[in-house]
Amino acid sequence: MTRKLVVPAASEVAKKWGDVTPGRASYYEAEAPAASDLWESNTVAAKSTYKAAVADPKISDRFAGGAKGKSAKFKRKVTDVGVARFGPGVSAAVGDMESGFSPFQAVLAGISVADRKPRGDPSNYQIVEEIGGPLHKKRLALLGAASS
């Protein structure tokens, strides 16, 4: 014997979610930070799963499919949510910006480059390599990846 599932309309589910979920901020505040260690350990443990997933022949199609047709939502969310959160988000991230940039600032401060030549001179590209190479090496070191 089979039976048909009774599922409310998407509009009903969305309305209930919109009405109820904002009142659960205290659960988010209490439980989300506590999940951070578990998130990190599970993510690190998923290294081989990630490698297999990104090696899948259809991954580029899925990647593109995840973005296709989403520009209207992106624009709407920037206007409706992003603008109001932008300033407070930046303020909350000042320490993260400092600690994230600090290793690269140290690399940049230790680089000496040749004087810039006139516009269009091919030797100016050497300056880019003299800066980009050490920054890339530092990035890979911080990620625990081998230098390429």
99-127 pLDDT, tens digit per residue, is 999 999 999 999 999 999 999 999 999 99
Q: Is residue 1 part of a domain?
A: no
pTM for the full predicted model? 0.72
How high is the pLDDT of residue 22?
94
Of 142, 144, 133, nearest to 110 (Cα)? 133
Q: Is residue 66 part of a domain?
A: no
Task: Indicate the number of domains in the chain.
Answer: 2
Cβ-count burial 26-46 (b if 16+ within 10 Å, e if not)? eeeeeeeeeeeeeeeeeeeee
Chain-centroid distance of CA 37 in Å reads 18
Report the share of the chain in percent with pLDDT over 70. Answer: 98
Same domain assignment for residues 100 and 55: no
Taking each continuous run of H as one helix and of E as one strand, the counts in the chain are 9, 0
Run of H or E including 34: none
Q: Summarize the confidence of residues 26-33 as an average pLDDT.
A: 93
The answer to whether residues 135 and 122 touch, using CB atoms and an 8 Å cutoff, is no
- Decide which of 146 and 58 is more confident: 58
* Domain limits for position 98: 94-148
The letter for the amino acid at 100 is: G
pLDDT band at 145 (very low <50, low <70, confident <90, very high): confident
